[in-house]
Chains A and B, each alone.
Chain A
Amino acid sequence: MKAAGVKEAELQAQFDDAGQQERASALGMWIFLATEVLFFGVLFVGYTVYRLAYPEAFVWGSGHLDLRLGTLNTAVLLGSSYLVALGALTASGKGTSRRARLFFGAAALLGCLFLAVKGMEWYHVWEEGLFPGRGSSSNSFQEGAEGGRLFFGFYYVMTGLHALHVLIGVCVLAVMAGVGGPLGWRRRIGNRTAWELAGLYWHFVDIVWLFLFPLLYLIERSGG
């Protein structure tokens, strides 16, 4: 990596030069993402165990999810990732930080759209009486095979944890896009590394959804 992105004033005391600082920051983010892989990974392992044990229940459960909304949301997240990649690329150039901010801002808006659609979906499934936890009055699980509650348990926990990450990501993108300025973080978000790190995190959140989508929404849609 080239060292041009960090100006002298942004070099922290523990580092010798800008190259070292950039390399360290990027590595820190990648290691953090590896921990996130295992964080979500547990849910994927649990999902695999129960789908093997109760295949019919998972087909039944998946049939109750809205495929169109799920597909829309996948496209929305892919689009936001594209914008973030554009933003990070722009930020590494010179004097175009205004455009980079626009890209990130638009991506943040797409993130909000994703959350809104997600909230709608949760509400629909809840209305159908398919919330497996305490607090749901009606109960439609008897119609499905045994294990239906487990499918929806995973559905809520996995999408919920993912949505939490999207929410955090939206906040990060918004700060980079300009909210951070008024908060007095202008200097901190001024260097290129910050843009790249924010981008890495957002792409990771996107990747998690890429796996959630087929596992939750696309189970044997042929049978009807």
Chain B
Amino acid sequence: MKRLTYAFLALLLLLGVSVWIATLPLGALGWPAGVAIALLKALVVVGVFMEYRRQSWESRAAAWAGGVWLLFLLALVLVDLGTR
């Protein structure tokens, strides 16, 4: 029960950080910074709320597969876009 509460507070903190960072003049770095914080938040949700460590290995693999396959799609589309 305590773990959940800490995780929730951490998520709210990260939300504040991401809004604050967006007001800094970071230029092109703003995009990756925003995504990085979102990724961090997602990891907290998966790790604590979705109890990643309590899942069977198959379930964990499924979670990874979704992310990895999305990277396949993104990477190869960008290979085309980046070299046109």
A residues neighboring B (CB under 8 Å): 1, 23, 26-27, 30-31, 33-38, 41-42, 44-45, 48-49, 51-53, 67, 71, 74-75, 78-79, 81-82, 84-86, 89, 199-200, 203, 206-207, 210-211, 213-215, 218-223
Mostly helix, strand, loop or mixed at chain B's interface?
helix
B residues neighboring A (CB under 8 Å): 1, 4-5, 7-8, 11-12, 15, 18-19, 21-27, 30-31, 34-35, 37-38, 41-42, 45-46, 48-50, 54-56, 58-60, 62-63, 65-67, 69-70, 73-74, 77-78, 81
Q: A34-B62, A37-B70, A222-B24 are in contact. Are A203 and B49 (CB under 8 A)?
A: yes
B37 neighbours in A (Cβ, 8 Å):
214
Check A1 against B23 for contact (C-beta < 8 Å).
no
**Whole-angstrom CA separation of A85 from B48 in the bound complex:** 9
CB distance from B78 to the nearest CB of A (A): 7
**Whole-angstrom CA separation of A49 from B58 in the bound complex:** 32
**Whole-angstrom CA separation of A26 from B57 in the bound complex:** 11
**Whole-angstrom CA separation of A12 from B83 in the bound complex:** 54
Check B66 against A1 for contact (C-beta < 8 Å).
no
Check B30 against A86 for contact (C-beta < 8 Å).
no
